[in-house]
Chains A and B, each alone.
Chain A
Amino acid sequence: MKFKSRNLYQYLGFIALGLFFVLIQIFALPGIKLVESSTARGFGNFMIHIIIVLGYFLLLGYAGLASLGTAGFVGLGSYITGYLLASVGLPPVLVLIITILVGVLLGLGVGFISLRIEGMYLAIITLGLAEILTVLFKNATGFTGGVSGLNIYSTPVKLLGFINMTRETTYFVIVAVMIGLLVLTYNLTKSPVGRAMLSMKNSESAAQTMGVSSLKYRLLAFVIATVFAMIAGFLYMLYYRYSEPTKWNLNLSLNVLASVVIGGTGSIWGILLGAYFVFSLNDTVLVNFAFFNENPNAFIFLTGTLMILVVMFYPGGISQLLITLRIKSKNFIPWVKKVEKSITAKLAKPKATNHDKEDKS
């Protein structure tokens, strides 16, 4: 992929985001204590959810396939990880590879089922699949620990044989994986694959007429979403060292869907803000208000309401808002344009500005 000036801004942004998350944990280390350790834990949880949302963003936002199986896949990832680490005793890297392989197979399976059924039934079928997984989580006691859950508190986990995975080191691994997947997702959306998926979303028949293989891209979208969810499950198990069936219910799937709907599909930052709104705003900001502190469910009400309003009146979501603000600010504040131009000139060859114009139009 060619290195465009526009991409450079984005990568700088991703790196800044990663640094922000890393700093939060460093400030929360026992010696420094500028930030509460519970705050850092909240951000760790948030980043795991970002990974789920990124996979789902490609599936729903780009390929236009609404699935409700997400929570089941994340749960499966966490259980496979826990089982292989504790009962079989495999090293974490091998466990991650196995988890990803299972994700690929599962994604292919769901993708093939989705080819047979129409768009609207897909949500029901994937919901049924999540139910099947929940039955397994609850009853396959030898593998999942049953209703009381599976924990690996007493299993020491060593990454690459020497890094002891405490909660803090796992946090840094999560930051690295999250930023890596963020860059991967961003590149995919700007690549021919992403554009092909987007064309499928708008009209599958038209896309097929233009030579976009429905089979290939549907399967790809499902594989990506499932693998991301399984990776999130892997990280969840390493971070919390505990997994229970009630965690992986319909509410999680609905919330993941809500964050993609609220985030919109125009920009990856919109998705990140959508995920922040759904999964972290309540824990980081609203919990300071007495009302939200007393009613933890009030926030779900807000999410639901906002989701309905976005679908009905502002289908672009937060992304649309960001793009509009960007254009408006350029028109009204002359120096934004100037600064941007000077940075572009410094960072990239002059030719890149052409691409810039094309992207905006």
Chain B
Amino acid sequence: MSLYSILQTLTSSIMQASVLSLSAFAIMLIFKTSNTTNFAQGMISALGAFMAAVFFAELGQNLILSIVIGIITSFVFGLLIDVLIIRNSKNINAVGKQMITMGLALLLIGLLPMTLQKNTPSLAPLLEGNVSLQILGETIVITRHTLITFIISTILIVGLFLALKFTKWGLSVRAVANSEKVAGMMGINTRWVTAFTWALAGGLGALAASLYGPTIGMATNVGFMTPIQIQGFMAAILGGFSMFHGPIVGALILVFIGNLFGLGGETASLYKDLIIYTLIFLVVLVKPLGLFGKKVIKKV
């Protein structure tokens, strides 16, 4: 196992890591404010990506403009989900809310092939071509698209963490995450905070899907974001939902360690998902709240 192959594996994981971090962040935001795991995250992301693809491939618009339209679509869709559904299901328990999101996933799985995906539109990479990087004396080649995806998602995630820490919006999100009732008593508009996190999660998902779609042939596969969503969940339970950075760290561990397992030969690379998921199960059995979990005492 040479240094070159390790570096090559790490760089080839960058795409997956960037997209997964964005998705994990979206899943975690919704978990924090609405106390549910959003099983429709992957499909809401795909909705935005297909909207962008329709504008790009069928209406011949500029790529950036199409992606922005896609992001706005998912943003508005997320907002609508909160305003129409989640807001009206306050007294449904957590598992019931999960089922609502599963219903949403089914709804979109049925809707997209009839409408936006009908003519199998696809998006193009942001930039064509490759770049060579000199790392530790080795020359590594990655596509420009991967590099720009990495830059965009890093800026976004760092920016969002700074916003959570230092802005008024971030403070209100953290307050709602802690206790929605108390936050409401302190004069925070909890409805707006929750609605905005759903919208933001939709927008982030759509961006991730628009960047990820062109690299894996999104046109014929309506559920192309579902594997990412499942990995996002696994990352979130690995890192634990109780801290904001838990899911992101979990995502990075899942991608990079998983792909390093892949270096162990052909069999290992086929079974790397199996190995990493089994490891996550073992971690969860030992630490049920994840690596960074904090125990919340439950009153009956």
- Interface residue ranges, A against B (CB under 8 Å): 64, 66, 113, 116-121, 123-125, 127-129, 131-132, 135-136, 139, 203, 205-206, 250-251, 254-255, 257-258, 261, 295, 297-308, 311-312, 315
Contact = CB atoms under 8 A, between A and B. Distances in A.
Nearest to A124: B233
Q: B98, B102, B277 — which one has the most chain A CB atoms within 10 A of its CB? A: B102
Contacts of B300: 203, 205-206
Contacts of A300: 106-107, 109-110
B281 A308 contact: no
Given A131-B277, A257-B102, A301-B106, 18 more contacts: A66-B99, A120-B37, A123-B37, A124-B37, A124-B236, A124-B237, A131-B230, A135-B270, A250-B230, A257-B99, A258-B102, A258-B106, A302-B110, A304-B105, A304-B106, A307-B102, A311-B103, A315-B96
Contacts of A302: 110
Contact of B274 (A125, A132, A261): A132
A195 B37 CA distance: 29
B88 interface: yes
A301 B89 CA distance: 21
Interface size class of B (residues with CB under 8 A): 35 or more
B98 A66 contact: yes
A308 B102 CA distance: 8
Contacts of A312: 85, 88-89, 92, 100
A206 B89 CA distance: 24
B156 interface: no
Contacts of A311: 89, 92, 96, 99-100, 103
Contacts of A254: 102, 105-106
B135 interface: no
8 contacts: A117-B288, A121-B284, A121-B288, A124-B37, A132-B277, A251-B109, A304-B106, A311-B89
Contacts of A119: 94-95
B162 to A, nearest CB: 29
Contacts of B271: 135, 139
A305 B89 CA distance: 15
A300 B222 CA distance: 13
Contacts of A305: 103, 107
A120 B94 contact: yes
Contacts of B277: 128-129, 131-132
B113 A304 contact: no
B66 to A, nearest CB: 24
Contacts of A123: 37, 39, 95, 98
The 4 closest A-B pairs by CB, nearest first: A301-B110, A304-B106, A304-B107, A300-B110
B278 interface: yes
Contacts of B49: none
B280 interface: yes
Contact of B285 (A113, A203, A258): A113
Contacts of B39: 123
Contact of A301 (B36, B100, B102, B114): B114
Nearest to A313: B88
Contacts of B108: 304
Nearest to A138: B270
A299 B285 CA distance: 39
B226 interface: yes
A311 to B, nearest CB: 5
A242 to B, nearest CB: 22
Given A113-B285, A251-B109, A136 B99 contact: no
A70 to B, nearest CB: 12
Contacts of A295: 113-114
A291 B233 CA distance: 36
Nearest to B112: A297
A117 to B, nearest CB: 5
Interface in B226-263: 226, 230, 233-234, 236-237
